[in-house]
Structure 1
Amino acid sequence: MPSTRSATAAPPATYTTIPISGLDVISRSTQNLSACLSRCRPWPEFLATTSALDFPHSISAAYLRFRRNATYFSINYAIIVTACAAISLIGSPIALIIIGFVFFLWLILHFFREDPLLIWGHQVSDWAVILGLVLITVAALWITGPLNSLSIGIGAGLLISVVHGVLRNPEGLFLDENEAASDGLIISNTAAPNSRTGGTSFNPPL
């Protein structure tokens, strides 16, 4: 009888992310940043009219209203906070340039980076990147010394965002279903396999 060979299970394939050059990382991070900024809502819609502004009838309603507005106008709020921080440093152009550059590094190398960073042929870990950015930030603040003005600017931007988020009635604002579901603003229920729709139903919270 012919000999039979015992079947052995093949080891599972493993995939590793290949680091790319620093310039490619910056280029792809810049594209991600540009795509994020493109989600900014139109400013006329953000400002709206006085008819869209009113006081919530309870604290819970104010929280829910701010949560929905913060999700819908997240990019607008980020731009406002950034603008207020920049205005607070306008009296010190050197500090504005240095802090602006450090902020750009945080965006490119941390918040919008999706790929491992490769420097001089060595892969840099995420913790090393964060530690480096923290040290650069501390050094920039120590050299320029704008911490008080910067704190006031950021605080003013946050205050404007919170006031707008509480007073702006979100009725009539429509979130993308994927964004709303990921933020927990709507609940997705998977339809039954034999359902004709075959999709997902969304029920907004009351």
Structure 2
Amino acid sequence: MPSAATPAATYTTIPISGVDVISRSTQNLSASLSRCRPWPEFLATTSAFDFPPSLSAAYPRFRCNASYFSVNYAIIITACAAISLISSPIALIIVGFVFFLWLILHFFREDPLLIWGHHVSDWAVILGLVLVTIAALWITGPLNSLSIGVGVGLLISIAHGVLRNPEGLFLDENDAVSNGLIVSKPAAPSTRSGGISFNPPV
């Protein structure tokens, strides 16, 4: 008997309520923060810090550390930004709230947003967040202090990433593959175990 062709199933993402979007985004944020490496490992000992042998070796070293300590670096930059606003509590609260909105509604949001029965596009969400950010910075006026705080946090992170010897740091397999630090290749037929061949970064 001739078999009838079965149409491929198609799936569409159904927008969910704003409360559910925020709840799921908060869970994603919490899961991301749980990947923070232990601070004793981050600080390590003086023997774990040295200068890279050459400028060409500095970038691979920083890239490996940035992938491994990405959450730690994000926390440091955020903390430096918060410290720069400590003299203006109102600005700190407003900027902190705007930053939280960016995390929940953009960076950690995986679902379409539904407000009052209407679907809100990603571009509309970004535009709204940009306008809110500009308004917050214009009202509180902490741009200079905030820039200094973020700059200090970036400098600390870059210095740590270049000076921290990444030997002995092991990324999770999925993280390393997704960041391009290791390459997965199909095993040759003659290999016994099959599986994945890992090429660490040079």
Q: TM-score range by the shorter chain?
A: over 0.9
Structure-2 residue corresponding to 1:65: 61
2:124 is the counterpart of 1:128: yes
2:45 is the counterpart of 1:49: yes
- Separation in 1 of the partners of 2:87 and 2:72? 24
1:14 maps to a residue whose letter is T
SS at match of 1:118: strand
2:201 is the counterpart of 1:197: no
Which runs of 5 or more structure 2 residues have no equivalent in the other structure?
none
Bigger Cα Rg: 1
Could you tell me whether the CA contact under 8 Å between 1:117 and 1:123 is conserved in 2?
yes
Structure-1 residue corresponding to 2:136: 140
TM score, norm. by length of structure 2: 0.95
Structure-2 residue corresponding to 1:36: 32
Report deviation, 1:13: 2.5
Could you tell me whether the CA contact under 8 Å between 1:187 and 1:205 is conserved in 2?
no
1:167 maps to a residue whose letter is L
Structure-1 residue corresponding to 2:147: 151
Structure-1 residue corresponding to 2:105: 109
Q: CA-atom RMSD, angstroms? A: 1.6
Q: Deviations over 1:36-57 (max 9, x none)?
A: 0000000000000111111111
More moved, 191-200 vs 114-123: 191-200
Identity %: 82
2:84 is the counterpart of 1:88: yes
Which runs of 5 or more structure 1 residues have no equivalent in the other structure?
none
More moved, 39-48 vs 169-178: 169-178
Could you tell me whether the CA contact under 8 Å between 1:190 and 1:201 is conserved in 2?
yes
**Count of residues paired in the alignment:** 202
More moved, 6-15 vs 146-155: 6-15
Of 144, 156, 162, the residue aligned with 1:160 is 156
16 and 89 in structure 1: CA distance in 2 versus 1, 3 angstrom threshold: same
1:50 maps to a residue whose letter is T
Could you tell me whether the CA contact under 8 Å between 2:60 and 2:201 is conserved in 1?
no
